Structure 1
């Protein structure tokens, strides 16, 4: 998978951006694991900023696009050397199941999971 826009349930994301946004660099700010679900929630910022802001968000001082990715029915979860402030390189490989992976530049901190449903959500942050 090459673009965030290709994820299932990315309708709102596609309304905020008029062009495809490549999956790539992210700044991870939250990680939530629900063992009884089982699910994994990732919160992160991307360097791109939307070009189609809703009117209610315009002139509010937003300068960051903050995304959330919820992965349900996860298995094979591997997390090493997190928390960290490093910028990650994100990839999502899609076959029968999706496999989101995050790696920092030096490959020390990383996260890898297998899921059958990565679903995005989008919000914006101010300065």
Structure 2
């Protein structure tokens, strides 16, 4: 699965019985910094956690936000066609041990990087999502 190739994947693994594929996810943001050497990808998981922390349950959270950071970017192509940025995300390591990220949908992105980590995983109340799913 996509999360296993990234550093710092323990927390997201503990939230789900099986971490979902990133199909039809809401892309919250794509941030290019450090003169193009760093790309941050912000998105909502396609479903709420199976095993949310007690604090998340108590707070009524119904969505999981993830920030992935990629460093030492080798290649980057981005285009989009709508205001609501939805897409399918695939992430893998290639034969040169580089991270390859593809987003297809309303936003399209191709990225090749040396380093990939899960920077943030947090819960929140998403008013667009409706009822809690746990």
TM-score when normalising by structure 1: 0.83
Q: Displacement, 1:44? A: 0.6
CA separation of 1:124 and 1:99: change in aligned 2, threshold 3 A: same
Q: Quick check: 2:91–2:101 contact (8 Å CA) kept in 1?
A: yes
Structure 1 runs (4+) deviating above 4 angstroms are none
Q: Deviations over 1:35-69 (max 9, x none)?
A: 33610001111221112111222121211111111
Q: Quick check: 1:25–1:46 contact (8 Å CA) kept in 2?
A: no
RMSD, matched Cα? 2.0
Counterpart for residue 118 of structure 1? 116
Name which of structure 1's ranges 116-125 and 68-77 shifts more when overlaid on structure 2. Answer: 116-125
Q: Quick check: 1:4–1:23 contact (8 Å CA) kept in 2?
A: no
CA separation of 1:68 and 1:82: change in aligned 2, threshold 3 A: farther
CA separation of 1:62 and 1:54: change in aligned 2, threshold 3 A: same
Q: CA–CA distance in 2 between the matches of 1:7 and 1:24?
A: 18
Counterpart for residue 76 of structure 1? 75
Structure 1 residue runs without a partner (length 5+): none
Paired residues, what number?
A: 123
Counterpart for residue 103 of structure 1? 104
TM-score when normalising by structure 2: 0.80
Q: CA–CA distance in 2 between the matches of 1:3 and 1:30?
A: 19
Q: Displacement, 1:70? A: 0.6
Counterpart of 1:73 in 2: which secondary structure?
strand
Counterpart for residue 88 of structure 2? 89
Q: CA–CA distance in 1 between the matches of 2:91 and 2:83?
A: 21
Q: Quick check: 1:101–1:111 contact (8 Å CA) kept in 2?
A: yes
